[in-house]
Structure 1
Amino acid sequence: MAKIAFILLCHKDPDAIIKQAQSLTAVGDYMSIHFDARANPEHYQKIRDALKDNDHVTFAAKRIKCGWGEWSLVQATLNAVEAAVDAFPRATHFYMLSGDCMAIKSAEYAHELLDRRECDYIESFDYFDSDWIKTGWKEERLIYRHWFNERTQKRRFYWMFEAQKRLGITRDIPEDIEVMIGSQWWCLRRRTIEWILDFVKRRKDVMRFFRTTWIPDETFFQTIVRHLVPAHEIESRTLTFLMFSDYGMPVTFYNDHYDLLLSQDFLFARKISPDATELRRRLGVLYSSDGQRFQISNEGRSLYKFLTEKGRIGRRFASRFWEKESSLGRERELLIIVCKKWHVAKRLLERIRQMTNIPCIEYLFNEDSCPLPDLGGIQSTMGKRHRHRRALMRMLFDYYDTDRLIVCMDPANLDLLEDFGRDRSLTRILEIECHFSDEYLIGHAMRVGLAGDRTPPETIQRLLPTVRNDMTHESDRIRDANFENFLRVREVDPTDVSARAISEFLTVPQDKAHEILSHDHLYAD
């Protein structure tokens, strides 16, 4: 009879991870956990302490700092797989999961399905001939070397790509390897896993190649399995149910999706909302239940497509992205830097980007030219960004696969600050108070159309007090709003005072905050 060793990659929500491990191992299955080395060490220790007496749980011997699109995700998976192979000799199958996945069938059903056929379940489509990649780079992922993370080191990532392209520096795919692509959520037999680990030790050339490809978690296992296993023993599908919106983002499941999920021809589903407590409770007890019968209709994707295309906004199966009241997520932190001098905020943002792994976005609600990923059009105009502000922010959190995000806003955006400040997520606001010289105020008046090149000097002089008072008024309104997590940095403050505010805002040690502030010309005009 099948026994599953779950390979769990996770980076947050220790309580949910503990419950997930207890639920899946209660019926005799196993779990090997890799907890991101970038994540909170106290969360990792909490998981270890809670599961230390569970002999069906093991941990990757070495934890990796993971980043989206990097080789680190594959290496973390390999580390967890190696731990599982050593710890669980009776495991017959190895099933890849994330912390957002939950079982939508019983263990009894899952074991029967795996016993039914001697095969590996992994999406494995021809990289070049299939249409698995809908838009964006294809060949470029492979023939160029990618050393930097596209999301956290965007400038270096694209600079290195352009440099290789201009110089004609490309590389060949290993001759005997046919690159495949597919979902990273697979279920492989023990024999296949052992073959993969042996291949990893033998084929250093293939390992070198994949280490610098872009998004290798969609190609590495998919390619190696196809290289090692006969085609008739591969079922090119995933056993994890997931859907994507028109904007290319994973659809999140809520309390009212229980019946829908159980009727799909899959064993697990991703992503289950952290706020869907009732759904999580019901699915948590489902895996260990006996005698459950499942009526498979498999209409999930077509039903979702039909309802969203019709624009139905309701309770059952409806899209939550566009509801005005939709939350960014209780577990998420939105960090907002407010500064009238945009160049000062951008300098500070660049220092934070260099010193931390928190994704940083500039004045997305003020500058049309603010660099943003393609989110299906919602980011295309300033009007759409303001109208669908929460949806936009949720999609950015999902795009960067993060629970912490920093954005810049102008002090005039009090409505945005109040909206995000009321959200169930944790919102921190850091106001940077700068000195405004007459020269700066004149330049500002010209930029916003209050004055021009031909405006008489005496008119400008009469205008300056009004402009200065307007900026003071914007700052006063923010303070009068009494935001719960409001901090302030002033140009006139000593570095130690500013560092304490930065430390609290970013929740980093004060010495790190001092490093962030060590910019010789932070406030220069």
Structure 2
Amino acid sequence: MAKIAYLLLCHKDPDAVIAQARRLTSQGDFISIHFDRRAHAADFARIRSELQDNPNVAFARERLRCGWGAWSLVAATLAALEAAVEDFPRATHFYLLSGDCMPIKSAAYCHAFLDSAPVDYIEGHDFFESDWIKTGFKEERLIYRHPFNERTQKRLFYLTYEAQKRLGVTRTVPADLRVMIGSQWWCLRRSTVEALLAFCRARRDVMRFFRTTWIPDETFFQTLVRHLVPKAEIRNRTPTFLVFSDYGMPVTFYNDHFDLLLGQEYLFARKISSDAMELKKRLGEVYAEDRTEFAMTGEGRRVHAYLTERGRVGRRFAPRFWERDASLGAGRELMILICKKWHVAKRLAARIQAEAGIPAVGYLFNEVEEGFPDLGGIETTLTKRHRHRRALLRLLMDHFDTDRLVICVDPSDLALIEDFAADRCETRILELECGFSDAYLRGHAARMGLAAPDASDETFARLAPTLRADIAFEHQAIREAGLAAVGQLREGMPPEAWSDAVAKFLAIDAETAGRVLEIPYLFSD
């Protein structure tokens, strides 16, 4: 009978990870866990402590800092795979899962399904000839080197890309490989996995190639499996049910999707909402059942497409999710930088993203920035952003595949700040208190339309006291609002105080906070 070693890639919610490990191993299978190194160390320590007495649980020997679209996701998968191969010699299959996945069939069904045919389940389509990539980069993913992460190091990512493009510096795909592309989620037999790991050790040229390929988790395993395994022994499909919206965002499943999910011809589903506790409980009970018969219709994607189209023509049979759930959700962290000088907050936000790996955006409720991701239309105007503020942040977190987000807010937006502070998510606030020279206030008055840039000294002298008082009043109102978790970073403070404030704000260690603050010009105009 099949014995499955599940490979779990996760970065949050230690309670869910512990529950998943216990659920999957309770039926005699195994699990190898890679917990993102960017996550809190205390969360990982708790997972290890809770699972240390379970012989069917292993951990990747190396924890990596993972980033969307980066090689680190493949490296983390390989680390979990190597640990599983070494620790679980009885495992016949290796099944890749994320922390958002849940079984939609019983363990008995999964074992019977895998025993029914000696094949691997992994999606793969010809990279160049198929239309699997709908928009954006295609051959650019392969022919150029991408040493930087597009999400966290956007400027360097596009700078190196443009430089290679301008200079005509390209590379060729390893001659003996036909690059394939498909879903990240797969289930492979032990013989395939052992051959794949041996290939990785022998072909350093291939490893170097994929290490600087953009989004390699969609091409690495898909290419190598078809290089190593006869076509007849591969089923060109993922064993995990997932649906993508027209905007390339994974659809999230909630409590009322139970019957829909059980009817799909898959073993697991992704991604399940962290708030769908009833759905998780019911699916966990199904997994423990002995039954191997399920009535399957396989209509999930068609139903989603149908309901989506009804929304487009104004005929909706259920409320939008921002009407249904007015919260960012428990377990998520929103960190708000408050500063009157927008360039100062943006500098710090950029450093946070680069050094701490936490996605950060600028004054999204004050200015329509260029390069903002397409989130289905609610991001197009400031009016829409304010109206659907929580929906906007939820979509941003899903876009960045994170539960932690940094945003910048002007101190005049006290109502917005109070609204987010009252959310069920964990909200932390850091005030950046700047000095305001006469030159800055002149520019500020011009931006507000109070005075022309070349206004006389006499005109400016009448405005300056009021401008200073307004700024002081805004900060005072924030302090008197009784908001929890408010820290200050004042211009002129000693560096040690800066580091402590940033470490508490981001919940990171002092060393990382120090790297974030390696910007001597932070408050410069």
Q: Distance in 1 between matches of 2:78 and 2:510?
A: 36
Question: Contact between 2:240 and 2:270, CA under 8 Å: does it hold in 1?
Answer: yes
Deviates more, 1:449-458 or 1:401-410: 449-458
SS of 1:208 mapped into structure 2: helix
Q: Name the residue aligned to 2:129.
A: 129
Q: Name the residue aligned to 1:39.
A: 39
TM-score norm. by structure 2 comes to 0.94
**Do the aligned partners of residues 519 and 81 (structure 1) sit closer, same or farther apart at CA in structure 2, a change above 3 Å counting?**
closer
Q: Give the C-alpha shift of residue 37 in structure 1.
A: 2.3
**Do the aligned partners of residues 456 and 352 (structure 1) sit closer, same or farther apart at CA in structure 2, a change above 3 Å counting?**
same
**Do the aligned partners of residues 414 and 74 (structure 1) sit closer, same or farther apart at CA in structure 2, a change above 3 Å counting?**
same
Task: Map 1:255-334 onto structure 2 (within 5 A).
Answer: 255-291=255-291, 293-311=293-311, 320=321, 322-323=322-323, 325-334=325-334
Q: Distance in 2 between matches of 1:65 and 1:47?
A: 17
Question: What do the CA deviations read for 1:315-349 (whole angstroms, capped 9, x no partner)?
Answer: 6xx652x3274322211111110111112222323
Q: Give the C-alpha shift of residue 455 in structure 1.
A: 4.2
Q: Name the residue aligned to 1:420.
A: 420
Q: Distance in 2 between matches of 1:189 and 1:296?
A: 25
Q: Name the residue aligned to 2:372.
A: 372
SS of 1:109 mapped into structure 2: helix
Q: Give the C-alpha shift of residue 370 in structure 1.
A: 4.8
**Do the aligned partners of residues 455 and 356 (structure 1) sit closer, same or farther apart at CA in structure 2, a change above 3 Å counting?**
same
Q: Name the residue aligned to 2:190.
A: 190
SS of 1:279 mapped into structure 2: helix
TM-score norm. by structure 1 comes to 0.94
Q: Distance in 2 between matches of 1:424 and 1:164?
A: 46
Q: Distance in 2 between matches of 1:454 and 1:90?
A: 79
Q: Percent identity?
A: 60
Give the aligned residue type for 1:282. Answer: R
**Do the aligned partners of residues 93 and 411 (structure 1) sit closer, same or farther apart at CA in structure 2, a change above 3 Å counting?**
same
Q: Distance in 1 between matches of 2:386 and 2:118?
A: 53
Give the aligned residue type for 2:124. Answer: S
SS of 1:9 mapped into structure 2: strand
**Do the aligned partners of residues 490 and 202 (structure 1) sit closer, same or farther apart at CA in structure 2, a change above 3 Å counting?**
closer
Give the aligned residue type for 1:500. Answer: D
Q: Name the residue aligned to 1:159.
A: 159
Q: Give the C-alpha shift of residue 19 in structure 1.
A: 1.0
Task: Map 1:76-155 onto structure 2 (within 5 A).
Answer: 76-155=76-155
Question: Contact between 2:310 and 2:316, CA under 8 Å: does it hold in 1?
Answer: no
Task: Map 1:406-417 onto structure 2 (within 5 A).
Answer: 406-417=406-417
Question: What do the CA deviations read for 1:447-501 (whole angstroms, capped 9, x no partner)?
Answer: 1211114644433322223322322232233223221222222225444444432
SS of 1:329 mapped into structure 2: coil
Deviates more, 1:431-440 or 1:137-146: 431-440
Give the aligned residue type for 2:343. Answer: H
The number of equivalent residue pairs is 522
Q: Give the C-alpha shift of residue 293 in structure 1.
A: 3.4
**Do the aligned partners of residues 453 and 193 (structure 1) sit closer, same or farther apart at CA in structure 2, a change above 3 Å counting?**
closer
SS of 1:405 mapped into structure 2: strand
Task: Map 1:123-522 onto structure 2 (within 5 A).
Answer: 123-291=123-291, 293-311=293-311, 320=321, 322-323=322-323, 325-453=325-453, 455-510=455-510, 512-514=512-514, 516-522=516-522
SS of 2:406 mapped into structure 1: strand
Q: Distance in 2 between matches of 1:56 and 1:510?
A: 36
Q: Name the residue aligned to 1:11.
A: 11
Question: Contact between 2:356 and 2:516, CA under 8 Å: does it hold in 1?
Answer: no
Q: Give the C-alpha shift of residue 511 in structure 1.
A: 5.5
Q: Give the C-alpha shift of residue 292 in structure 1.
A: 5.6
Question: Contact between 1:119 and 1:234, CA under 8 Å: does it hold in 2?
Answer: yes
SS of 2:288 mapped into structure 1: coil
Q: Distance in 1 between matches of 2:71 and 2:520?
A: 36
Give the aligned residue type for 1:397. Answer: M
Question: Contact between 1:101 and 1:271, CA under 8 Å: does it hold in 2?
Answer: yes
Deviates more, 1:400-409 or 1:503-512: 503-512
SS of 1:450 mapped into structure 2: coil
Q: Distance in 2 between matches of 1:476 and 1:115?
A: 67
SS of 1:323 mapped into structure 2: helix
Question: Contact between 1:335 and 1:405, CA under 8 Å: does it hold in 2?
Answer: yes
**Do the aligned partners of residues 440 and 29 (structure 1) sit closer, same or farther apart at CA in structure 2, a change above 3 Å counting?**
same
Q: Name the residue aligned to 2:23.
A: 23
Q: Name the residue aligned to 1:68.
A: 68
Q: Give the C-alpha shift of residue 174 in structure 1.
A: 0.9
Question: What do the CA deviations read for 1:149-206 (whole angstroms, capped 9, x no partner)?
Answer: 1111111111111111111110001111110000010011112112211211222221
Give the aligned residue type for 1:291. Answer: R
**Do the aligned partners of residues 206 and 519 (structure 1) sit closer, same or farther apart at CA in structure 2, a change above 3 Å counting?**
closer
Question: Contact between 1:263 and 1:294, CA under 8 Å: does it hold in 2?
Answer: yes
Give the aligned residue type for 1:38. Answer: R
SS of 1:237 mapped into structure 2: coil
**Do the aligned partners of residues 22 and 377 (structure 1) sit closer, same or farther apart at CA in structure 2, a change above 3 Å counting?**
same
SS of 2:323 mapped into structure 1: coil
Question: What do the CA deviations read for 1:16-67 (whole angstroms, capped 9, x no partner)?
Answer: 1111111111111111111222222222222222222222222222222222
Question: Contact between 1:4 and 1:92, CA under 8 Å: does it hold in 2?
Answer: yes
SS of 1:83 mapped into structure 2: helix
Q: Give the C-alpha shift of residue 367 in structure 1.
A: 2.2
Q: Name the residue aligned to 2:59.
A: 59
Deviates more, 1:210-219 or 1:411-420: 411-420
Q: Distance in 2 between matches of 1:307 and 1:446?
A: 49
Q: Give the C-alpha shift of residue 415 in structure 1.
A: 2.8
Gaps of 5+ in 2: none
**Do the aligned partners of residues 371 and 32 (structure 1) sit closer, same or farther apart at CA in structure 2, a change above 3 Å counting?**
same
**Do the aligned partners of residues 75 and 512 (structure 1) sit closer, same or farther apart at CA in structure 2, a change above 3 Å counting?**
closer
SS of 1:31 mapped into structure 2: strand
